[in-house]
Amino acid sequence: MEDLSIIICSYNEEKTVCNVVEACRTFNPGSEIIVVDDGSTDRSQELLGHLSRSVKFTYIRHPENKGKSYAMVTGVKHASHEIIMFWDADSHGIRKEHFQIMLKPMINNEADMVLGHTAAKFAKYNLYPFRAYTGERVLFKKDLNLILDEIQDLRFGIETYINFYYQTHGKRVRYVLLEGLRTLTKFKKTTILKATKDYFKEGNEIATILLKNYKIKAKNIGNSFSYAPNIVKTRISNFQKTTNQKIQELYNKISQADLN
């Protein structure tokens, strides 16, 4: 697909990132591929350099780690096409149909954003609820451009924030199952102790960022519906209350686990 930009954000993913880039190129020969290396300290830069001799992609490297959100925004700013796809650098089992399944609702004007999930993410929702907000996704660049300044410094909170923004602004969000796709868990990348700490840190970061931004975003949303019918105002108000409650519950859950 020629009007598609695939963005792969990577940090210390030397074991998988090159295979991901190759798969994305194989199944999308006419698409733009952008790899944003967020200051990796492993052999990612070296390996991607070798790969660039045989596989066409744009390589952008941050001199230091700036966080997932910064890397995603960097990719969007360098993207040339209107349809943006984010693909995890630690995934494997990538199939051609995964791209087709995610792009079809966008091409047919059936969705403003499509989220692709693996079966494992759904199965482990109770263990790590924030994973349901992450994963492969497709969006329109014109929509992302409106919030680039807001999301640049949200780090791991960026994907949850984007989902929240789309839902509260009436955007059409489609969830699809990517059968066969797998991602390496932190437990397979490092020690059990470090992986556990990283998961809690990531979850705590997401919840904290959401709580900090919720009141401002809720106020803006409320103002945008100031002239809407009462029934619409009521629905928006109820949605905000429910969302706030869920965010607080998740924050408490992660914080309590971190203390233990």
For residues 108 and 119, which has the higher predicted lDDT (pLDDT)? 108
For residues 259 and 101, which has the higher predicted lDDT (pLDDT)? 101
pLDDT band at 249, cuts 50/70/90?
A: low
Every domain of the chain and the residues it spans = 4-184, 192-259
pLDDT band at 124, cuts 50/70/90?
A: very low
pTM for this structure? Answer: 0.74
Token output for 73 = 């925004």
> By mean pLDDT, which of 22-26, 89-93, 159-163, 209-213 is the weakest?
209-213
What pLDDT does residue 1 have? 75
H-type helices in the chain, by residue range? 17-27, 44-51, 68-78, 96-107, 119-123, 141-145, 148-151, 158-168, 186-189, 192-224, 230-259
User: Could you read off the pLDDT of 214-228 as tens digits, one per residue?
Assistant: 554 555 444 444 445
Query: What is the domain class of 4-184 according to CATH?
Result: alpha beta
What pLDDT does residue 167 have? 81
User: Could you read off the pLDDT of 166-195 as tens digits, one per residue?
Assistant: 888 889 999 999 999 987 654 355 444 554
User: Could you read off the pLDDT of 79-112 as tens digits, one per residue?
Assistant: 999 999 999 999 999 999 999 999 999 999 999 9
Q: Which of 161, 166, 2, 150 is nearest to 73 (CA)?
A: 150
